[in-house]
Homo-oligomer: A and B are copies of this chain.
Amino acid sequence: MRVLITGVDGYLGWALSLHLAGRGHQVAGIDNYSRRDWVQEMASQSATPIARMSDRLLAYYKRFGKNLIFHKGDLTDFNFVLNVYKSFRPEAIVYLGEMPSAPYSMLDVHHAVYTQTNNIVGTLMTLYAMADAVPECHLVKLGTMGEYGTPNVDIPEGFFEIEYRGRKDRMMFPRKAGSWYHQSKVHDTNNVEMACRLWGLRSTDIMQGVVYGTRVDEMAGDAHLLTRFDFDQCFGTAINRFCAQAVVGLPLTPFGRGTQRRGFLPLRDSVQCLTLAVENPPEAGEYRVFNQFEEVYSIMELAEKVRTVAGRLGMDVEIQPLENPRIEAEDHYYNPDHRHLLDLGYQPTQDMESELEIVLKDLLEYRDRIEARQEAQFPDIRWDRERRRSQTLPAAGERKAAG
């Protein structure tokens, strides 16, 4: 199948391109290297050293015996996008080319505006370019479980049947996002659903949980095929940050009480799920939603898991909660559905500890790169618009004693 990946230079994009090539698909990618710029703006770098794109492409050719077709360009440049669609004629587009960080979007008004315009405009242009050039193409759009927030009821996959004052309808489940970034994904969701409804486009909207890990099998031990791994306050996801902290001997820093519950999945599962979506397209005009995660944990449970696995590898790791820079519910009900991908054949890895062991071993090789930028991990972007570094909180035990 001809699959176009936007944001192919990013964490998921690169890994997915390897996996799809390994399965025999013809892959083309678009990127403008924004992620490299954003991380640099955060005074950080990927823990794994990332080859420049020309070297990546060479390594890709050596590994798979075929080229990754690569187009450098901006997804908010309509003529560029339309021309790529017309020349490559994708059967599926996996749209990963967005600014993916909540704290980055909360930095100030300019970052808020940049996040929403970059993400919304890119998606709008994709919808128009699809309708013009490849109306049968399947858009696999990356959203986030964060679109739903943490309601006090179960979270279905995108839609629910309601009865209200004695009448019934099937409606979008209400979203309640908690950052300008998460809102940008809600806006995309609404725009994509409408384009399917009005223009007969087809789309799978992926509400993804928090992804962690360094590997997909197709990397095959070739350092040029590694994907990036961020640990700074903006682009490092929770578990990835904990693993980076562990290998340089810093305490793991859950925010607040760490009782916030979220869905998680390893990188290899994310890539497996996106591939299932690509290989099982919806009908013309169909807009469907997959909640994409494996297991639900609290942030503190994850920190404990990283500590346990690190301990087995001889690292002595502390957990040191930080004042929560976000405004979010720390104690809440959380029970999201996730049947659709299992129905398509998703086989969850279900072995977080082995995955964490791989991550920690991989990162030990790049310890120096994390140490060199370790300041970047400390959160100082706060949801209340102040810019102030989060203070250390007393550990749970001490707090109880003090209370």
Contacts and interface: CB of A to CB of B under 8 A. Distances in A.
Interface residues of A, number: 50
Contact of A165 (B78, B154, B174, B186): B154
A69 interface: no
A383 B167 contact: no
A120 B169 CA distance: 29
Interface in A350-403: 383-385
Number of copies: 2
A297 interface: no
Interface stretch (A1-9, A46-54, A111-119): A111-119
Interface in A166-195: 167-169, 171-178, 180, 183, 186-187, 190-191, 194
Contact of A172 (B110, B162, B174): B174
B151 A169 contact: yes
Interface stretch (A10-18, A121-129, A252-260, A339-347): A121-129
Nearest to A179: B194
Contact of A120 (B109, B117, B128): B117
A165 to B, nearest CB: 5
Given A131-B385, A132-B385, A180-B194, 19 more contacts: A78-B109, A108-B128, A109-B125, A109-B128, A112-B128, A117-B121, A120-B187, A124-B180, A153-B162, A153-B169, A154-B164, A171-B174, A172-B174, A172-B175, A175-B190, A186-B187, A198-B383, A199-B384, A199-B385
